[in-house]
Structure 1
Amino acid sequence: MDTLVKERIQVDFQNRMDRDELENCMRCGFCLPVCPTYIQSGYDETQSPRGRIALMKGIVDGEIEPDEDIEQTLNECLGCRACEPACPAGVNYGQLLEEARDIFNQNKQHSLPEKVIRKTVFEGLFPHQNRMENMTSLLTFYQRSGLQKIARNIGFMKLFPDTLATMEKVLPSTPSRKEMRSQVSYYVHKSQPKATVAFFKGCLMDTMFREVNKATIELLQKVGCDIAVPDTQNCCGALHGHSGEKEKAKELAKKNIAAFEEVGADYIITNAGGCGAFLHDYGHLLHDDPEWSERAANFASKIKDITAILIDLDFHLTPLQMPEQVVTYQDSCHLRNVQKTFDEPRLLLQSIDGLHYEEMNDAARCCGSAGIYNIVHSELSMKHLDYKMEQVKDTAATTIVTTNPGCLLQMKLGIEREGLSDKMRAVHIVELLIEAVDRRTSV
């Protein structure tokens, strides 16, 4: 990193970082026991929230020179935001982290391959749902045509890093292009609706995890909702916001706000903890935009996770039964730490006869998925996953339940790595709930 780049980064830190928020950190250390990277590093202070804030403040004050080591320290943060509920001063660490990452990213010189990858992912793929569908349809062809079986038989996957090769094994069965495009824009409840909701279908959730979306809509119908699914919605922008592409995240946010304003609903329902948290933060993302700040705050105020509205509408009072099994719950970091939704999933699981719920030790600790963290920081991610799987095994659970697609894939990955695929499964909570509903209907 040359001197000119360092100078630009320092100027941007001084102009853009929220000094009051940096000063709010009292260095009390309450964040340390809940920070996965601090614990995993062997208690390296620079791998803690207060340590990273100190580095940010040092750059702002001109006491520290920005360099690659600081950038790496910021990028190695999982962004789980477990530090925020633990902080007595209420420091919005996640907002500071995203701003700092954006400053580094916008000022650094990317290599040509990195430029191509970032442009392809952040501009060419995720903002365009039709392209996400095309990509998923290729995966569907790979799975259904026999190519997947051939690739495994000839050892083709051995050419890839172990984590990616194992991840290929745990990918869900994906829908065809026709199935992805058979979307209904409005679902009317047969009787008097209890609520009118809009459903945020997401990009990956509506392609790779489409069955989860279908189950979510079914559950919303069963609890008495009219459901609008705006055609013009797009990617939430979380991947962009977490990866130093803040301006692109703002563009996506504005499109989503406009799309959901057209339908007018009591709530905007999400079923992916990471997406829900970023949508919840639109108010901050656009707080300095006079045209959009109020609209963004209004949008954010309507965000509600599927588990929360199911509890609100008394789904947990429905008599349901499942085959005897031990279940445990892995919190989605952002659902818990940003949306403050943690009791609701547990109440839903505990309400079903036959499910013996066992609380996992450190259920709130990040599993290491963290968006694309398990790809770009694979070795570190697997250390977090190994710890998580030890806690899972201590519960003797046969079913791991979670509420976020990244967490779901990570837990499936953990099961495969531990050689437990014949004894244990991981499911999204709505998959388990609709399974219980279907069993009741068929009896």
Structure 2
Amino acid sequence: MVSELQQRMQESFQENVSEEYLMDCMRCGFCLPACPTYLATNQDETHSPRGRISLMKAMRDGDVVWDGSVEEAFDMCLGCRACEPACPAGVQYGVLIEETRVAVQQAKPQGGVEKMVRKAAFDGVFADQKKMASTVKLVQFYQRSGLQATTRKIGFLNLFPPFMKEMEGVLPKVESKKKRTMLEKPKTTQVAFFTGCLMDTLFQETNRKTIELLEWLGAEVILPKEQQCCGALHGHSGELEKGMRNAKANIDAFDSDDYAFIVNNAGGCGAFLSEYGKHLQSEPQYRKKAERFSRKTIDISSLFVRLGMNLQLKAMTAEEGAIVTYQDSCHLRNVNKVFLEPRSLLQDAPGFEYKELIDAGSCCGSAGIYNLLQPEMAKKILDLKMKGVKELQPAKIITSNPGCLMQMQVGIQQEGLEKEMQAVHIVDFLHEVVQKNQN
């Protein structure tokens, strides 16, 4: 006899998960060596894209019973989408895993605590930029009041799981807003800046430097009001409808002919922003506006290249010194197909020697909040990443996403390499290079 939960789950999969997309998978296995969880679990098929797609279809057809192992297979997916470039059939795995998480979220009973946490996160902090700013002010108070130092001194953090202690250890120092310090040039183009939620609070210094570099390259930077979190965390957590609420707010905020580009400096955000058109194609009121928004979306390194930063860097002189390397943001590489641009900027940066990181295109284990929800698997993946780092021994690991930045800092901390290397956002790195050559 089919249980009530099994029936609800099957109906939810039938309603939310596209059978057409499921049938695109040819089961060829080209995705397997690209999947971090497949490799980290010693080639467990249920933790591969092909295996998960088979489970999705089986759930939709009622051929498998919903249980903890099925749920774990879907939860364990990083959503890095490295399988998509590897797939000869063009399977839209990103769509399928999002649809699957929506199906599970709608059918699975939620406890009181989970409901409360989800409401606070997806209807509160990540739905209202003001609430995000207020939350980060608490972090700032924790850091500046002496509470952080006291907490660490008395060992209070030892009461928490190790991964929480590690993440607390790499939280960026929340700075007060500073005046811009870089020389500006005559304006030749207008761009709108998507500031992001974490980037405009925890990493507001990086945002400030982003604006400075764009202005130094001759861009007039517009900051549309009423912009919100991109909605990526909603979409990756089975709350796609709420993510689209944020998307519509952003589309309305940026709906202008005044600028050719909507630039962002967070790879995970950029991928979701670029897919607004796909997510809203069935909504007549927003379809065309969403497509235009997505067409204008551009990553900061790509815009730097367009605005001629490479020529500016080549014109600077400095003795070649420390090794720098680059860890790809999965979504920036796999969804937006941006991987040459940041490397070209690092190769042209004076005073540094660029060397490619082993498996730079593989996930570091951050994946949004994956490292918080799946700390054991995230650590396995990070450990694999750090093997390549230790072999290369760079002075700086450059990243293009806040989650990747913090995850790589955790890896450096775990290996005791804090005195030898640091993880740096590409904007912060380039800003330092340019500023040194201005003085």
Please report the TM-score for the alignment, with normalisation by the length of structure 1.
0.95
Which residue does the alignment assign to 1:326?
Answer: 323
Q: CA deviation at 1:128?
A: 1.1
For residue 275 of structure 1, report the CA deviation from its aligned partner: 0.3
Distance (Å, rounded) in 2 between the aligned partners of 1:102 and 1:321: 53
Equivalent residue, structure 1, for 2:104: 104
Q: Percent identity?
A: 50
User: Aligned ranges for residues 6-21 of structure 1 at < 5 Å?
Assistant: 6-21=6-21
Residue 30 in 1 paired to residue 30 in 2? yes
How many Å apart are 1:174 and its aligned residue? 0.3
Cα distance in 2 between the residues matched to 1:160 and 1:76: 22
**Cα 1:8/1:205, change in 2 over 3 Å:** same
The alignment partner of 2:282 has SS state of coil
Partner SS state of residue 400, structure 1 = strand
Displacement of 1:67: 3.2
Alpha-carbon shift at residue 225 of structure 1 (Å): 0.9
Secondary structure in 2 matching 1:94: helix
* Corresponding residue number in structure 2 for 1:64: 64
CA contact (8 A) 1:237 1:252 kept: yes
Aligned-pair CA distance for 1:375: 0.6
Deviations 1:359-395 (A, max 9, x none): 1111000000011111111111011111111111111
Q: CA deviation at 1:283?
A: 1.4
Q: How does 1:360-379 map to 2 (within 5 A)?
A: 360-379=357-376
1:298-377 to structure 2, matched below 5 A, reads: 298-318=292-312, 319-320=315-316, 324-377=321-374
* 1:406 maps onto 2:403 in alignment: yes
- SS of the equivalent of 1:79 reads coil
SS at match of 2:431: helix
- 1:218 is aligned to 2:212: yes
Pairing 1:113–2:113 present? yes
Q: Which amino acid aligns with 2:60?
A: V
State the distance in 2 between where 1:145 and 1:337 align: 41
In structure 2, the residue matched to 1:276 is 270
Please say if residues 18 and 96 of structure 2, whose CA atoms lie closer than 8 Å, have aligned partners that are also in contact: yes
Aligned pairs for 1:245-264 (under 5 A) are 245-262=239-256, 264=258
- State the secondary structure of the residue aligned to 1:392: helix
Distance 1:362 1:93 in 2: 21
Secondary structure of the structure 2 residue equivalent to 1:353: coil
Give the aligned residue type for 2:286: W
2:282 to 269, 280, 288: 288
Residue correspondences, number: 433
Matched, 1:297 2:291: yes
Structure 1 gap ranges (5+): 184-188
Structure 1's consecutive aligned runs of 4 or more residues displaced over 6 angstroms after TM superposition are none
- Residues 31 and 49 in structure 1, CA contact (< 8 A), matched pair in contact too: yes
For residues 84 and 395 of structure 1, the distance between their equivalents in structure 2, rounded to whole angstroms, comes to: 28
User: Is the 8 Å Cα contact of residues 10 and 61 (structure 2) preserved in structure 1?
Assistant: no
Q: What SS does the aligned partner of 1:426 have? A: strand
* Residues 1:431 and 2:425 are matched in the alignment: no
1:227 aligned to which of 203, 215, 221: 221
Quick one: structure 1 residues 377 and 338, their matched pair in 2 at CA, closer, same or farther if it must change by over 3 Å?
same
What runs of 5+ residues in structure 2 fail to find an aligned partner?
Answer: none
Contact 1:71 1:101 in 2 (8 A): no
Following superposition, the deviation at residue 57 of structure 1 comes to 1.3
User: Deviations 1:311-340 (Å, cap 9, x if unpaired)?
Assistant: 112101113356721111100000000010
Q: Distance in 2 between matches of 1:170 and 1:322?
A: 31
CA distance in 2, matches of 1:50, 1:36: 13
1:79-98 matches, cutoff 5 A: 79-98=79-98
The CA RMSD measured in Å over matched residues stands at 1.7
Q: Which amino acid aligns with 1:74?
A: F
Alpha-carbon shift at residue 60 of structure 1 (Å):
2.2
Shift of 1:134: 1.1
After alignment, is 30-39 or 289-298 more displaced? 289-298
Q: Distance in 1 between matches of 2:250 and 2:410?
A: 32
CA distance in 1, matches of 2:126, 2:59: 33
Query: What letter matches 1:233 in structure 2?
Result: Q
TM-superposed CA distance for 1:15, in Å, is 2.7
- Is the 8 Å Cα contact of residues 12 and 106 (structure 2) preserved in structure 1? no
Give the Cα–Cα distance (whole angstroms) in 1 for the partners of residues 247 and 397 of structure 2. Answer: 32
Measure, in 1, the Cα distance between the counterparts of 2:429 and 2:316.
Answer: 11
Q: Quick check: 398-407 or 281-290, which moved more?
A: 281-290
Q: Which residue of 2 aligns with 1:186?
A: none
1:265 equivalenced with 2:262 (yes/no): no
- Structure 2 Cα separation of the partners of residues 350 and 133 of structure 1: 36
SS at match of 2:4: helix
